Structure 1
């Protein structure tokens, strides 16, 4: 794909798809966005939240980063892009749901098992991957047969989602709104191979197929 393909794609969007949402977008422009869902997904180019979930403009506030990681709350004056997005979604937009969506064949989770060196070109990547360290440690304790690398990676991807949910709870307003019933958090796992989604069941401590019955009608 080259830049001209994107230009052609925008032309097609304006001619074919934009008219379908024009009324909805006009309302969003006049009254502002009011999404009820914060979707935290990976920057992986194979992950397409709007296509995966058949959503329209204004439905979801989307945060994407390497590994769909959630940094723990840190009240300092450094730059915190992901944390800022979470705070804005929860405290300003007032979303009612946060979805942490991991996925199969995640490069970030695979990189946890590799030495990426000390190159200054990857200094921020190396630091960011520390957010997956606990998931890796837990996986190595839980998986007996460590020779099956693909099985190890799939387990790490799912376990990481659970740990990112735990990091969400370190945000004061997230914790407060969960306790008051104003907010719910969900852990999902997307299988790139077939497009299916799994949902984390806290009572069973496992991922189960995502179905409407999981959340009621």
Structure 2
């Protein structure tokens, strides 16, 4: 905890002072250009990856960067409400779904069905990735765990892009070219980002 408290002091004396005018401008409103949906993994830092400042990214973080398919409900839906707010209220121009290497959530999906019995809420949440898991287990042999991991992480990103398109207002905005969707696969150990190319159906290394 002390490290975090020291960080607060350092921020106030350092970065805050450097960007004082930026924070003053953010006092009353935010106008982010992008909704960034990423894993809650502590190794993934959206602003660091994208070199963006406060006010640019509206973020959703959860286990395995999942997007529930659109459906009418009276339940409390954190991710769905955040997507709705970002698109309809903040009017973001982009939505990025960013998966990453060595994702614990994706790895757990590939484990035996009882692997998460001690984490029932996590187990339930990851059901959203089961269609991807089933395809990976069918297509990639058990003796190639690295290939399974890689495919699970990337195919999961593509699946969430499909889920986003089940939201009527997102589909409409995309058709009208008011909103662009993108899928990323971030490699922690190299800093590389692979971006999904719909035209070829593959993730291609981002080269700027």
Give the structure 2 partner of residue 17 of structure 1: 15
Map 1:1-217 onto structure 2 (within 5 A): 3-30=1-28, 32-114=29-111, 115-119=114-118, 122-143=119-140, 145-212=141-208
CA distance in 1, matches of 2:86, 2:144: 39
CA distance in 1, matches of 2:90, 2:139: 38
CA distance in 2, matches of 1:24, 1:176: 33
TM-score, L = length of structure 1: 0.92
Q: Is the 8 A contact 2:70 2:80 kept in 1?
A: yes
Q: Is the 8 A contact 1:38 1:89 kept in 2?
A: yes
Q: Is the 8 A contact 1:70 1:167 kept in 2?
A: yes
CA distance in 2, matches of 1:151, 1:118: 26
How far apart are residue 117 of structure 1 and its match?
A: 4.7
Q: Is the 8 A contact 1:198 1:209 kept in 2?
A: yes
CA distance in 2, matches of 1:20, 1:142: 51
Q: Is the 8 A contact 2:40 2:62 kept in 1?
A: yes
CA distance in 1, matches of 2:104, 2:188: 13
TM-score, L = length of structure 2: 0.96
Unaligned runs of at least 5 residues, structure 1? 213-217
Task: Kindly tell me the number of residue pairs found equivalent between the two proteins.
Answer: 206
CA distance in 1, matches of 2:116, 2:174: 40
How far apart are residue 127 of structure 1 and its match?
A: 0.8
Q: 1:203 to 1:141 in 2, by over 3 A?
A: farther
Over aligned residues, Cα RMSD in angstroms?
A: 1.1
Unaligned runs of at least 5 residues, structure 2? none
CA distance in 1, matches of 2:19, 2:130: 42
Q: Is the 8 A contact 1:98 1:185 kept in 2?
A: yes
